[in-house]
Amino acid sequence: MGGKRGIYKAINEVIEQRGLTVEQLAREKFRLRNAIETKIQNYRLSQNRKAYQQCLFGSDSEKIEVNPEFSFSFLEEKYAPNWYYEGSFKFRKHYFRTIGELKTEGEEQECAIFLDGLSQVKYWVRNTEINHLVYDLYNLSFEEIEIIEGKER
């Protein structure tokens, strides 16, 4: 799907497949917007996964090199947040004893609680605001930092 043409195509498909009028769609414009946003997000995720797999296992995969020079270690002394989590929830899987810069309520805390409860997650780290002393994960894609596995505390 590309830009306005893609949205126009999606709307026309809805009209044709479901036999709806433009007026009916106008009344449901927010549901339509949400559905299109979801479709675009799913398409992006699908394309990211394909590109990731192509990079790892495609014809150019022999160019990928594992090198300690391009890795980083999770050292507690380098984890230097500006402030610490003070909420009542007791996280069990955060990699460090304390969690930096996590508010006691809101979407980020809900996400952290969700991650902490996933059986697939052994450890996780709350990255803090950009700070040269903290881990530079901001340039990695989501697929590259899904789960920290196999590392003992």
Q: Are 97 and 126 in a shared domain?
A: yes
Mean pLDDT over residues 37-52, rounded? 88
- The answer, yes or no, to whether residue 47 has pLDDT greater than 80, is yes
The model's pTM is 0.45
- For 75, the token pair is 């050292």
Last residue in a domain, options 63, 80, 114: 63
Provide the domain limits for residue 15: 3-63
Q: Is the dihedral of CA 70, 73, 78, 83 positive or negative?
A: positive
Average pLDDT, the chain: 80
Q: Are 47 and 84 in a shared domain?
A: no
Q: How far apart are CA 111 and CA 116, in angstroms?
A: 9
Q: Are 50 and 80 in a shared domain?
A: no
pLDDT tens column, 18-33: 898 889 988 988 988 8
Q: Looking at this protein, which amino acid is placed at residue 23?
A: E
Q: What is the C-alpha radius of gyration for the chain, rounded to an integer number of angstroms?
A: 21
Q: How far apart are CA 126 and CA 52, in angstroms?
A: 24
Last residue in a domain, options 16, 36, 63: 63
Q: Are 119 and 136 in a shared domain?
A: yes
Q: Are 136 and 77 in a shared domain?
A: yes
- The answer, yes or no, to whether residue 5 has pLDDT greater than 70, is yes
Higher model confidence: residue 40 or residue 129? Answer: 40
- Max mean pLDDT range (60-69, 125-134, 135-144): 60-69
- Grouping H, G, I as helix, E, B as strand and the rest as coil, residue 135 is coil
Q: Are 83 and 143 in a shared domain?
A: yes
Q: How far apart are CA 14 and CA 28, in angstroms?
A: 12
- For 53, the token pair is 């797999």
Q: Are 43 and 97 in a shared domain?
A: no
pLDDT tens column, 96-136: 999 999 999 999 999 999 999 999 999 998 887 755 444 55
CB neighbours of 146 closer than 8 A, spacing ≥ 6? Answer: none
- Does an H or E element contain 17, and which? helix 3-18
Domain count, the chain: 2
